[in-house]
Chain A
Amino acid sequence: MNKNHRVPSSRSLNAVEVKSKFGAEFRRFSLDRSKPGRFDEFYGLLQHVHRIPNVELLVGYADVHGDLLPINNDDNYHKAISTANPLLRLFLQRKEEADHGTFGTDSLTRKKNTVLSAVLLRPDHNKKKPPVIISLPKDFRPVSSIIDVDILPETHRRVRLYKHGQEKPLGFYIRDGSSVRVTPQGLEKVPGIFISRLVPGGLAESTGLLAVNDEVLEVNGIEVGGKSLDQVTDMMIANSHNLIITVKPANQRNNIVRSGVGGGGGAASGSSGRSSDSSASYYGYSSHSAAASIPPHIIQNFPVGELESDEDEEDLVIEAGGEAEPIRHMASNHSMSSLPRYEPHLNLRTATTPSPDRAMERGSLEEDGTVITL
């Protein structure tokens, strides 16, 4: 598989050229690649070179695909340094100024995924720009994402948590409860599963996407209705390395507002209701809609095969059978709650209208799907 991705590029020189941008100002300096030091030292250095000693900063850098990725700890700092080739482009922001933005990543690393990746990496694709090779996005692990925004009712949220074998616990608890549903017979109280607790410092809490009393509707595309707490627990644990839970947030005020109506697929699936979502997204239906209807300021996307291709995040760490990996990680942006309000990098993520070649892509995809499944 993509073994070579693990191997750091050895061509790089010993010094890393850093170009740091804060507001309209640029600073250039260099770092020793072999001895990058710690993140807090680096942070201090940035404050020093920009002469903003008391300003809280958000540090981001452009990765190999031009995605804006954060630097906020030793690990991603080291990764940024080690993958900078040769230039490391930094973008600094005041913490208080940073607003509704997320760092994003497109871990598109496979040749066979290029079709989709092209679709998803619309800006680059349209401009036919060769991506700037900065680093390997896989080394930056997405932590969580909101997916299927385009096909879900606005009151629902599909959250993907990436466990990846990191140390941080998933960190949430679920409980039995009851919720009120609208049925043909009127309002009805039905049993449901709810998030009961978030472990401080856990993955779930740190994403900010899940909250206590959120009702769990689906686990990796399977509805939890009619299942016991233990069953749902087991389902979540079985999917824990790539957990996708659809919740109905208790707090409905933070819902994503769709500024665009989205593509046809989005509208259609949105109207198809929740129950059909599960099967649809599970078996590739959502891939069409996802590919077709990316909202203009797309936050996340949810490609086909994602649900199915579990267990695969680890096979880069440990070697697997080698061949025939299903489509995976075609497009998965992430958000980091530790830097929750970052300005999207507009250079890289420009809202565009669907282009003809994207429509074509979609068509071919559908055909592929049909061939496969029939």
Chain B
Amino acid sequence: MMKFRFRRQGTDPQREKIKQELFAFNKTVEHGFPHQPSALAFDPKLQLMAIGTKSGAIKIYGAPGVEFTGLHKDTTAVTQIHFLPGQGRLLSLLDDNTIHLWELVAGPLREVGGVKKEGVVSLQEVNTYSLPGRPGIESCSATRVTVLLLLKSCDLLCVGTEGGGVYFLEVPSLSLKDNQTLLQDQITHSLPEDYRCGKSLGPVEALQEHPQQSGKILIGYSRGLVVLWDLSTRLAEQLFLGKQQLESLVWERSGNLFVCSHNDGGYSVWAVTSGNTCNHQPVSSTIPYGPFPCKAISKILWRTTQAGSPVLLYSGGMPRASYGDRHCLTIQQDKDHVTLDFTSRVIDFFTVHSVEQEREFDEPSALVVLLEEELVVIDLQTPGWPSMPTPYLAPLHSSAITCSCHISSVPPKLWERLVNAGKAQQSRHWPICGGKNLAPPPKQQELLLTGHEDGTVRFWDASGVALTPLYKLSTANVFHTDCDPSDDPQDPSNDPDMQQEEEEWPPFRKVGCFDPYSDDPRLGIQKISLCKYSNKLVVAGTAGQVIVLGLSDERSDHLVDVSVVDLLYDREGFTWKGHDRLEPRSKPCLPPASVTAVALHAEWNLIAFGTSHGFGLFDYHRRNAVLARCTLHPNDSLAMEGPLSRVKSLKKSLRQSFRRIRKSRVSGKKRTITTPTSKVQEANAALAEQEEVAPVQRRIEPRSADDSLSGVVRCVCFADTFLRDGTHHGPTLWAGTNSGSVYAYALEVPGVGSGRVCERGGASESSVCVEAVLGKEIQLMHRAPVVSICVLDGRGKPLPDPYEASQDLAIAPDMTNAHSVLIASEEQLKVFSLPKVSAKTKFKLTAHEGCRVRKVAMVVFSSTAQEDYSEHTLVCLTNLGDMHLFSIPALRPQVRYDCIRKEDISGIASCVFTKNGQGFYLISPSEYERFSLSAKVLTEPLCFVQLDRPLEPTSTSDGTTMQPQANGTHKNQMGQAEEEPPSCLSSPILDTPLDSPLSCADLTLDSTAELTVEDVRDFLTVDEAENNLKNIKEEEGRSTGILIN
């Protein structure tokens, strides 16, 4: 026992300090479109927009980069948001009938990139109120809030309720003005007898303040009655006896007119003339899409323009029978009439227009429509009302994201070209421009590539807080698909030519890019790899297609070369070479197995790809397949049935694991999930409930060698290293499979490593073709899937990317000392020396922690204290959603952070790391959470808003400025100790029980106690020892060439 104590005391304080300077965990910002938005508001003074979600989050957006997030304590849907214009305050109404006041407060001093910044603002809840009502039956309670109106003076909040009463609250204290409550009785007694009919007026549907005369509000009741109420005299000034059920009200700017919309799809215009206390008929009443029954117009806006006719905007009102299922918003001005046809439900909309009192007209400049799945902005100043691309809030999920890929420090040259390529989509002026981004301009450009189900690859600017679309590349037109490509709605918002108005009525126009229905699932992108120096992009898809693309500046037509790499059986890998503007080619795209791994080495002009059946190597410069290797287990009967059944079986197993997890979650904790879950999860839950009600139990069985998925290639990589012997290095290809096999090939690339003597006969150096010779086969004994392979140089650092070394962009790898290879399987991390492939160090994560490795990345962490100090670290995301950081090549655990909920499988599966210690994962189908593991590299919103009121710094400590999450998946995560620098680093280590294998002290033993037990097959070396081994194997009746296990 003594020795353990000794070693524990030996925990190096110096090392702990360095760790603090290197590592810190923060969830910094959410990119993309909030999941399940439910409310929208706009502050015309500060030019800020707020979006509330069903999970209780409030997000405020201003100019690109200006973002604030707040999260209600309860994950209840936000039903309404109202800004207190100019004050940086807002009121939110939740589904549970509570009203909350939020405030932008000045945060404490923050250190940003070494510079102290003042005036950084964050959003905090300051007050809350709920109307007294009978508890428990809130939904039918008379005091259930239906509508809020904040007076322009910002001191009074009018609250309309289900019971028809209007309550008045003082703002910002949120105290009820008891004696002022306006109940329906006060209105009814002034109504004419024939209108009263002894019926209630129904809930308050709309409240609007008179635009010119303060203190007068318009109250609209569900039954159709509209009352102009004077707050000071507490008298009904005028009555408008509408007969049709009311949906919404809007004033004309002058205050002489107001418009109300009805549930029959019509709207009526009423004149407000003083002295006339009781109006029976509106000035006009129209049902725009009549005469057949129409759906309700849920909201209507009336905006005046200097040019003449007012602009009328309303949502809904479609003919019930023919277009009742459309999500539409109509813009009407004079003869111009456009029916915007959206792909998802309209939540709310507003116009950006001038609000200054002295202006005579509204002059709307833009229409902002919040849909369930995206935000659409229509430019109202440009004829034709084109839609405007958004610099943020992009619907990442316009087609489901199937993979993502991050490229750090993009060279400016490539960046410029990308920006130019996508320039057509760049916005003119973004109408929502409030706040000021204080974040320093990014030191380097970062690119996030997302692959989508519809075969598109989207390029995003991930350098800053706003994830801005740069370019969209479609691979669909390379292939013939089932559907006619011409009817593919090619993002009409980007292409005005496509927006030809149809003759039909209503004049629909498709708007928005959310299109979740993929025409052909085979087009789905599975893997992306980009070489940022040579501008070569490799895209691999579900149908086994691998496309090599080069970036070109001008639009051009290229013939696409096709080549088929047969990995055995009837699989086909399509390899295409072309430029970024591909014209449709008539090439059949058979549905072979999905590509599961891809690697690009632009310097050698090679791509490697793996599928569930095997892997291949392709020389795209010489256009020939170099290698095709099948990794299937010979007994794998499933594979023989054809590629489709394999795909199915993969899906099936995924589904089963989904169910397992759902089940364990439900039965394990005995509580229902209150957080809103995605549709996928719901569907899975339903499935899980249908099946297997037996108690949750797990079978304990080792991995079997002939699992049907054992041949799936999980990773491929290239490396210039020592595979044959310790003195000659050269190009190598590595591939790892689901069953723990690793294949290493020595490559002969003409012009690379020419100094080497070719040891194997046959292949002469003069041959122009790339050749691959099997060098080693390693069978990991635990047979866990190989997640990642990485070759480390003589200093134990990962090899640089292609071109980096040759172009002096990175430190050249150490080729003098022995290299090693790090093989990360789902269960273990292991470093083997090269070329002998004997184990040097390892960490058995699963055996210790019971968690399995899901994602692995090599990350460089820079120190906050020393400018030039950095460390290479292995970051490892497990199936429990936690991050383990290991030093390399010693594989000593450094820190552990909880990151993703373990139930959030799609989140874990979508996680992608940057090279400098940040990462992204999907928290909903439409949102990436950005997190940072580095103490130095942080991308978080730092912004400032000039408010009417003084900004008081928060009294509370910084520890509470948490980063809430829109979909509420990670509530418990927030405000963890990690926020505070002193504790953030030491705690994970110190918290680990001393006996835990994760404490550093124990590691020495772990890494030294045992060495390799893996089966390594050597195919290149011919020294005696190896020969002996071979002989022994042969004695045992095994062929050296194929490893059958």
Contacts and interface: CB of A to CB of B under 8 A. Distances in A.
Is the pairing of A and B real? yes
Interface in B672-722: 695-703
A320 interface: yes
Contacts of A317: 1036
B779 A240 contact: no
Given A234-B846, A237-B702, A278-B995, A321 B837 contact: yes
Given A220-B847, A305-B1009, A240 B3 contact: no
B1029 A319 contact: yes
Contact of A326 (B4, B848, B1009): B1009
Given A235-B847, A309-B1010, A311-B782, A283 B1005 contact: yes
A236 interface: yes
A3 interface: yes
Interface string B820-837: 000000011000000011
B3 A369 contact: yes
A75 interface: no
B880 interface: yes
Interface stretch (B82-90, B381-389, B555-563, B1011-1019): B1011-1019
Interface stretch (A166-174, A330-338, A357-365): A166-174
Contacts of B851: 231, 234
Interface string A217-237: 000101010011111111111
B505 interface: no
A200 B664 CA distance: 25
Interface in B159-188: none
Nearest to B850: A231
Contact of A196 (B6, B695, B828): B695
A205 interface: no
- Which of B695, B784, B846, B1013 gathers most chain A CB within 10 Å? B1013
Interface string A146-183: 00000000000000000100000111111110000000
A174 B995 contact: no
Contact of A312 (B844, B1006, B1013): B1013
Contacts of A234: 827, 846, 850-852, 879
A238 B783 CA distance: 9
Contacts of A227: 850
A272 to B, nearest CB: 9
A65 interface: no
A282 B660 CA distance: 32
Interface in B836-858: 836-839, 844, 846-852
A175 B694 CA distance: 11
Contacts, number: 173
Contacts of A241: 702, 781-782
Given A308-B1010, A310-B847, A311-B1013, A318 B702 contact: no
A174 B700 contact: yes
A373 B702 contact: no
Given A311-B1013, A326-B1010, A238 B844 contact: yes
A233 B697 CA distance: 9
A216 B506 CA distance: 69
Given A6-B1036, A323-B1011, A374-B3, A233 B700 contact: yes
A319 B226 CA distance: 89
Nearest to A223: B995
A257 interface: no
A7 B695 CA distance: 48
B668 A176 contact: yes
A6 to B, nearest CB: 7
B838 A373 contact: no
Given A237-B700, A237-B701, A285-B1, A311 B850 contact: no
Nearest to B827: A238
A235 B1013 contact: no
A222 B997 contact: yes
A232 B846 CA distance: 9
A333 B223 CA distance: 88
Nearest to B1032: A3
Nearest to B848: A222
B1013 A321 contact: yes
B1004 A373 contact: yes
B655 interface: no
A308 B1011 contact: no
A322 interface: yes
A279 interface: yes
B1002 interface: yes
Given A241-B782, A311-B781, A321-B1013, A228 B850 contact: yes
A229 B1014 contact: no
B7 interface: yes
B910 to A, nearest CB: 20
B1033 interface: yes
B281 interface: no
Contacts of B1012: 320-321, 324
B193 interface: no
Nearest to A235: B850
Contacts of B781: 241, 311, 314-315
B1035 interface: yes
Contact of A322 (B696, B879, B994, B1029): B1029
B1045 interface: yes
Nearest to B995: A279
B1025 interface: yes
Nearest to A194: B697
Contact of B1005 (A197, A318, A373): A373
A275 interface: yes
Interface in A21-75: none
Interface in B947-997: 994-995, 997
Interface in B1016-1042: 1016, 1025, 1029, 1032-1033, 1035-1036
Contact of A238 (B661, B699, B782, B1010): B782
A233 B698 contact: yes
A373 B3 contact: yes
A276 B994 CA distance: 10
A171 B784 CA distance: 20
A163 B702 contact: yes
Interface in A336-374: 369-370, 372-374
A280 interface: yes
Interface string B748-788: 00000000000000000000000000000001011010000
Contacts of A324: 838, 1011-1012
A175 B702 contact: no
A223 to B, nearest CB: 8
Interface in B48-84: none
B782 A228 contact: no
B832 to A, nearest CB: 9
A305 B1009 CA distance: 8
Contacts of A6: 1036
A231 B700 CA distance: 12
Contacts of A326: 1009-1011
Contacts of B839: 321
B701 A240 contact: yes
Contacts of A320: 1012-1016
A301 interface: no
Contacts of A312: 1010, 1013
Nearest to B1005: A283
A175 B697 contact: yes
Nearest to B880: A231
7 contacts: A173-B700, A175-B696, A222-B850, A235-B849, A241-B782, A278-B995, A311-B1013
**Nearest 10 pairs of A and B residues by beta carbon:** A231-B850, A240-B702, A238-B846, A321-B1012, A279-B995, A311-B781, A233-B698, A318-B1015, A175-B697, A235-B850
Interface of A: 3, 6-7, 163, 169-176, 196-197, 220, 222, 224, 227-241, 243, 275-276, 278-280, 282-283, 285, 305, 308-312, 314-315, 317-326, 369-370, 372-374
Given A233-B698, A275-B995, A320-B1012, 8 more contacts: A229-B698, A241-B782, A279-B995, A309-B1010, A310-B1013, A322-B1025, A324-B838, A325-B1011
